[in-house]
Amino acid sequence: MRPDWDSYFMKIAAAVSERSTCDRAFVGCVLVRDKRILTTGFNGSPAGQEHCDEAGHLMVDGHCVRTIHAETNALIQAALHGVSTRGATCYVTHFPCIHCTKALINAGIVRIVYGDSYRIDEHARAFLDTAGIDYAASTG
């Protein structure tokens, strides 16, 4: 059976998550506009830095600060390659954290489809609601 678009892009986000180098959360993100993939991102360290799977976690206040989140990495890839994300949909394996939520809002993302309801931050939800961004758990 042929998957609908949301299921299709969520499966791709899941595949992207397999590249994550921080085992605290294997997260993948795909930014899409007009049914075309713009960029992808996964949890990993900044370029040229050691990864968690090599050097271990760098924990500060209960968070691994060695890792850049998947959504942020996808936005960085868009910036590096001159790809506008205005009007795009974010497909991500986990609900975005507050910091990624703010970045997605400012990047012009208009819709978020997420897989895992991991640590949904009420402030992130309020920001998305105020910004008028549609978000929903994946049904596929």
Catalytic residue, candidates 50, 54, 71, 122 = 71
**71 catalytic, yes or no?**
yes
Consecutive H or E run containing 23:
none
**Tokens found for residue 16:** 């992207």
With 0-12 CB in 10 A as exposed, 13-18 as middle and 19+ as buried, what is 76? middle
- Cα distances from 110 to residues 31, 50, 56, 63, in angstroms, run 11, 34, 35, 28
**Tokens found for residue 77:** 């890839």
**Which residues are catalytic, by number?**
71
